[in-house]
Structure 1
């Protein structure tokens, strides 16, 4: 068996039907991994699976609502039934409050359920087999908003996911199970469609996801210029206040009293 073959893994990827998830699905499949695609949009998911692997042998679409416990369990059980194990869990599904202030949203806590609770619960489902096998990888897709906060509810979810990822990594030291956090800045996706910023495509994040499977890292910030932003937020938080005030005013200024 070649080294390339031994490095192929069974990867469960949430939020796979669009944006970063779709790009990650393409990258992981191109590198020879077996991919279980999870998202709510069944038709888009099935079409992506056919596109990536017409044979249906290495890519499986499993319509999933990550906020529903039964749906999460069905996803992991289906992956095991088809491929025997789960080597990697990529918690990519994420949402934000897209318009207005979070406190005006009728269900602002849904952001926490999708972005934080779902990764925790899915991780809990795959950890026993990974720890028993002494092999596995949890990859959480965070955000630079988990370093530099501008949106209360979204940043709360991403700060929480960062803390969960870094803490879990230490809890699992010596077990053979690895935890990585990928923290994107602005990249083109449905979530950033209204942002007026120059942005790279989601492929930059997809490559980072695939790369940490071969070269594990604790935390990766992409694109690279956002590493400077994270540093400045830590060293000069008042500068961050000024930038945030301008950004928030441009987006919501007409609503301010």
Structure 2
């Protein structure tokens, strides 16, 4: 019998954004812990290669090329998982983007950040949740960010504040239903998204372990790496000092942006 402190049985996990960064590291971590995986991302070749690497026999890992911003693609993902494995025990909404260069107001389509980071997770939850409620069991894990608690980038932080509010509110809406909701909020870790950041960063494996751990010991929210809890405390208690530190970073960014031909 599973106890509150012992690992849960392997589960069927749908993981978006699986082809790189935190998603790829999470896929490796969950596969190592015996979970059955449905991997979703747009890059089909990378996704297929990852699935073969994790499960050469093709018994426990299914790759489903997916555009999370497309309704038909989202529906096909959940349908493929259910058809192949009979159910979806866990939905991990990891796919995420930011405005890659310059300022969001100069980007031709900045709202795509909201579509990927906020709208897509909400719509995937809508698709997966009814079956979870019917079984009175399931787990939704949303990947947020410390930028959803200490804002520095208007569009990206808007999406991550949104996913945090959605996650915490959904958790309360589902109390007593048997469906658990967790939020994992990473700081800077090495990935394609942070490739231009000049900061000391751990690898995405630290986030992958946190995600795998909340499946075994559910928690409302996890901030990782742990050192970011101090930064969040400063932002909450000493916002003026946080403004000063951020302004120096932004001044350097403006200088570099203005000098770009």
Q: What TM-score do the two structures reach when normalised by structure 1?
A: 0.97
1:1-257 to structure 2, matched below 5 A, reads 7-255=9-257
Residue 255 (structure 1) shift? 4.2
Is the CA contact 2:7–2:216 (under 8 Å) kept in the aligned structure 1? no
Is the CA contact 1:137–1:178 (under 8 Å) kept in the aligned structure 2? yes
Residue 252 (structure 1) shift? 2.1
**Cα separation, 1, equivalents of 2:9 and 2:23:** 21
**Cα separation, 2, equivalents of 1:181 and 1:5:** 19
**Cα separation, 1, equivalents of 2:128 and 2:171:** 15
SS in 2 for 1:43: helix
Residue 24 (structure 1) shift? 0.1
Is the CA contact 1:187–1:199 (under 8 Å) kept in the aligned structure 2? yes
Aligned-residue Cα RMSD (Å) equals 1.6
**Cα separation, 2, equivalents of 1:240 and 1:68:** 38
Residue 224 (structure 1) shift? 0.4
Q: Which runs of 5+ in 2 are unaligned?
A: none
1:6–1:234 CA distance, 2 compared to 1 (3 A):
closer
Is the CA contact 2:15–2:40 (under 8 Å) kept in the aligned structure 1? yes
Is the CA contact 1:123–1:138 (under 8 Å) kept in the aligned structure 2? yes
Residue 237 (structure 1) shift? 1.1
Equivalent pairs counted in the alignment come to 257
